[in-house]
Structures are given as structure tokens and as C-alpha cells.
Amino acid sequence: MSSTLHLTEQLISRPSVTPDDADCQALLIERLAPLGFRCETIVSGPDHFRVTNLWARREGAASQVKPKTLVFAGHTDVVPTGPLEQWTSHPFTPTHRDGKLYGRGAADMKTSIAAMVVAVEEFLAEHPDPALSMAFLITSDEEGPATDGTVKVCEALTARGEVLDYCIVGEPTSVEQIGDMIKNGRRGTMSGKLTIKGVQGHIAYPHLAKNPIHLFAPALAELVATEWDQGNEFFPATSWQVSNIHGGTGASNVIPGDLVVDFNFRFCTESTPESLQQRLQAVLSRHQLEYDLKWTLGGLPFLTTPGDLVHAVQAAIQDETGLATELSTTGGTSDGRFIAKICPQVIELGPVNATIHKINEHVLVSSLEPLKNIYKGVLRKLASA
């Protein structure tokens, strides 16, 4: 069994459902501390939702120029398993079938973390005193509200003036095989809870009531048809989607007094939260609606244009797999949105994402060593840059 596979199985066997780290990070510290990493545990959050974060840093060789820092970032927490009876094997018992490793977190993202650690171990065995500082930023609050995880570590690093240059987030970005796609940015996310106010009444006397569903319908049609922007060479156009609509008492003869609409923007760098808010509210006002609206900004978009990090990752993937990787900014949000505020170059690279969050989540066993070798290749290239 390879070291990468062994560590992956050790991590999968720990039931680290958000925000419980289940001692995953203690296992990582056991591997990193002997390599010269200064390991710091940062605990945050209320008593009922305690989040464990690990910041581990190893300084590069002293030279006339301060060594640059590459951060490996990820999360030890996983989403809930879902119905256990639907799993072919227990989700926290790493199991092999048909060349695949099954377990919750196999793809998202304990394989990535194991591959990163082993890549660093092997790299330091080859280069004991590299001209590159290395760090790990690991949280147990990525799959949850993400309020006491990576964002808190980034705040602490900013407060004490720690400088980061490059970051690889181990999110599962591959589509068909390891390295065929990496994320060099992500769209922003902003949600809204809109309450359209009407007047409740008997459905047989509509003139004595105001139906908020009817009132909102023309505005909804206009919002659905709106082109918010056209995107750019790195991002698709901004999208507006309704996720939930609720109105009514449950009775078939009552006009509801209000209508609640949940919606979300996934927006690119061509739009800002302020511009999107203003344009949406202008539509509501134009239709003379009476409403309340609460906004939640989940994260701003970030983008790493091709430079040292992207080129190093592309070259490492090419060397290991022969693939010319695709740059993409599609998909959901990640903790990269927090790291990008303090680190100028952030990319995401990890396993195939076809089974993430699903019953019987798995990765190909044959993909573990290539992923580890790609991470190690990036270390080599950045250390010699």
C-alpha cells in the first residue's frame, strides 16, 4: 500500500462530519511536525459548533531574497452520510471494490490532503532545505457555514503580517481524469430572501384582498429574462436563480397575505454585489411592489490569471499525465474566496468530482499517486523558479 493510500484511508476512517474534525488534524500534525512545520491549532466558534483549524508553516532556506510561500489548503470536514442503508459499505470504513476506494470524503477531500502531505514528505526527502516556504491551512468548517474556519485563519495571518504567495486548494476539480481541469477562480455568491406583501382574504372576494403571487409574477418574468452581464474570457455570465417560493396558508380558499421568495446570484467579475442589488430592486420598484428584502453575501468572485502558479501547475500536470489542463471558474464556492483576499495566486486542483456528496462516494485508487506526483511537481517547479 502506498503512503498516500494509507493516509487517505486513515483520514476516511475518522467520522469528521462538520464541524467535528475527529482528530484528522492531529494525524496531520504527527506527519508534519517531524518535517519542521510549526503547527498551530486555532479553535473558533460557539460551544455547540466548535471548529478546529490547523495552520502549519515551514520556512524556506535563508537567502538574499525572502523565500516565497506555497500554501496547501483544504478541509477535513465532510458532509453527512445520508441513509446508511443506501451505502454498499459503511461510509467511514474505507473499502476497495473494482479498483475504487469508497468512503465519505474520499473525493471531497481527504484524498487531496493525503496527497499533499505525502508530496511534501517526498519533496523534502529530495530537497531538505528548499528555497521555498511551505504551509498547510486546514479547516473543519468548509462544508458548514464557513464562518469560523478558513476565514478566521486568514484574519489571524493578516493581523500578524504573514505573507502568502501561492495557494493550491485541494477541491475536487477534475472531470474525467486527474488534472483535466483546474479552477483558477470562482464566481461570487449572493442570496436574497424577498417578501412580497399583499392582503390576505377570501378567494371568492379578490377585490377585498391583494394577491402577492399575482403581483410578483410580472416582476419574476422580467428578472428571469434579465441579462445581468455577458461574462468575460474567464467567467460565464452572471446567473440569477430562484430556489424556493412559498405563499399561502395551505387552504385552497385563502388568498395569501405575503409571498416569500429565496433566490441566488452566482456572479462574475463583470458585476458587483451593489450593482446587482440596485438593478434587482429597481425591477421591484418599477412593478410598484411592497416588499422586504434581506441580502446575504456569501463570497466575492476571485480570479488568478495565468502566472507563476498556473504555469507550474499546468507543467506538472503535463509531465505526469500528458494532459493540457483546462482552466475553469465554474461550479460552487470554495474557501479559495477567503484565501484570495490575502494571497495573490490561488488555484484549485483535486480528484474527479463525479461522486462528491453522493451515496457511495469514491475515487479511483490509481488516481492517488498521479495526484501526489502533480503536487510534488508543483513544489519542484516553484522551488526552482
Q: Which of 142, 143, 258, 335 is catalytic?
A: 142
CA distance 205 to 202: 5
**What are the backbone dihedrals phi and psi of residue 323, each rounded to the nearest 5 degrees, phi first?**
-90, 145
* Cell numbers placing 326: 483546462
* Cell numbers placing 351: 480528484
At CA 142, angle to CA 136 and CA 148, rounded to 5? 85
* Cell numbers placing 91: 461510509
Give CA separation, 51 vs 23, 48, 149, 338, in Å. 12, 10, 6, 16
24: closest CA among 116, 140, 111? 140
* 274 classed as catalytic: no
**What are the backbone dihedrals phi and psi of residue 55, each rounded to the nearest 5 degrees, phi first?**
-120, 115
* Cell numbers placing 344: 495573490
371: closest CA among 157, 65, 110, 166? 110
Q: Which of 9, 20, 21, 77 is catalytic?
A: 77
Which residue's entry shows cell 454585489?
A: 273
**What are the backbone dihedrals phi and psi of residue 194, each rounded to the nearest 5 degrees, phi first?**
-110, 130
* 142 classed as catalytic: yes
Transcribe 132-154 into DSSP letters: SEEEEEEES-SSS--SSSHHHHH
**What are the backbone dihedrals phi and psi of residue 246, each rounded to the nearest 5 degrees, phi first?**
-140, 130
289: closest CA among 221, 192, 213? 213
State the catalytic residues.
77, 142
